[in-house]
Amino acid sequence: MKLQDRDKNHIWHPLTQHRTAQPPIGIVKAKGALLWDEEGNEYIDGIASWYTAMYGHGHPTITKAITQQMETLDFVMFSGLTHEPAVRLSEKLMEVLPANQQKIFFNDNGSTAVEAAIKMALQYHHNAGEKRDTIIAFENGFHGDTFGAMSASGLSAYNGPFEDFLLKVIRIPVPQEKNSEGVLELLKNSIEANKCAAFIFEPLVQGAAGMKFHSAAGLSALIESCQQNDVICIADEIMTGFGKTGKTFASHYLTHQPDIICLSKALTAGMFPLSITSCTQQIFDRFLSTETHKGFFHAHTFSAHPLGCAAALAGLKLLQSDEIIKQQKLIANAHENFVQKIAKHPKVHEARCKGVILAIDLAVEMERYGNLRDRLYQYFLEQGILLRPLGNTIYVLPPYVISEDQLQKMYDSIEGALAIV
Name the site residues for ligand PLP (rule: CB under 6 A).
Answer: 109-111, 114, 142-144, 202, 207, 236, 238-239, 264-265
Residue pair 315/269 in contact by the 8 Å Cβ criterion: yes
Least Å from the CB of residue 1 to ligand PLP: 30
Nearer to ligand PLP, 4 or 159 (CB): 159
Distance from C-alpha of 171 to C-alpha of 154, rounded to nearest angstrom: 8
CA atoms within 13 Å, Cβ hemisphere of 69: 24
Neighbours of 140 (CB within 10 A): 18
Nearer to ligand PLP, 140 or 383 (CB): 140
Least Å from the CB of residue 232 to ligand PLP: 17
Least Å from the CB of residue 111 to ligand PLP: 3
Residue type, 174: V
Nearer to ligand PLP, 202 or 259 (CB): 202
SS3 74: coil
Nearer to ligand PLP, 106 or 142 (CB): 142
Least Å from the CB of residue 153 to ligand PLP: 8
Nearer to ligand PLP, 127 or 277 (CB): 277
Nearer to ligand PLP, 209 or 319 (CB): 209
Three-point CA angle 289, 291, 295, nearest 5°: 65
Alpha helices in 47-83 (DSSP H): 48-51, 60-72
Nearer to ligand PLP, 37 or 237 (CB): 237
Q: Closest residue (Cβ) to ligand PLP?
A: 110
Q: What is the DSSP string of 259-326?
A: SEEEE-GGGGTTSS--EEEEE-HHHHHTT--SSGGGS-----TTTT-HHHHHHHHHHHHHHTSHHHHH
Distance from C-alpha of 369 to C-alpha of 21, rounded to nearest angstrom: 11
Least Å from the CB of residue 290 to ligand PLP: 35
Nearest CA-CA partner of 359 in 404, 294, 414, 285 = 414
Nearer to ligand PLP, 207 or 315 (CB): 207
Distance from C-alpha of 91 to C-alpha of 101, rounded to nearest angstrom: 11
Nearer to ligand PLP, 49 or 194 (CB): 49
Alpha helices in 349-401 (DSSP H): 371-382
For residue 316, give Cα distances in angstroms to 88, 111, 237.
Answer: 11, 22, 15
Distance from C-alpha of 293 to C-alpha of 296, rounded to nearest angstrom: 8
Least Å from the CB of residue 261 to ligand PLP: 12
Least Å from the CB of residue 14 to ligand PLP: 9
CA torsion sign for 205, 114, 140, 54 is positive
Neighbours of 169 (CB within 10 A): 17
Residue pair 260/279 in contact by the 8 Å Cβ criterion: yes
Distance from C-alpha of 299 to C-alpha of 269, rounded to nearest angstrom: 23
Nearer to ligand PLP, 118 or 186 (CB): 118
201 beta partners? 235
Least Å from the CB of residue 52 to ligand PLP: 9
Neighbours of 28 (CB within 10 A): 12
Least Å from the CB of residue 419 to ligand PLP: 31
Least Å from the CB of residue 28 to ligand PLP: 24
106 beta partners? 276
Nearest CA-CA partner of 305 in 146, 73, 103, 67 = 73
Nearer to ligand PLP, 109 or 393 (CB): 109
Least Å from the CB of residue 234 to ligand PLP: 11
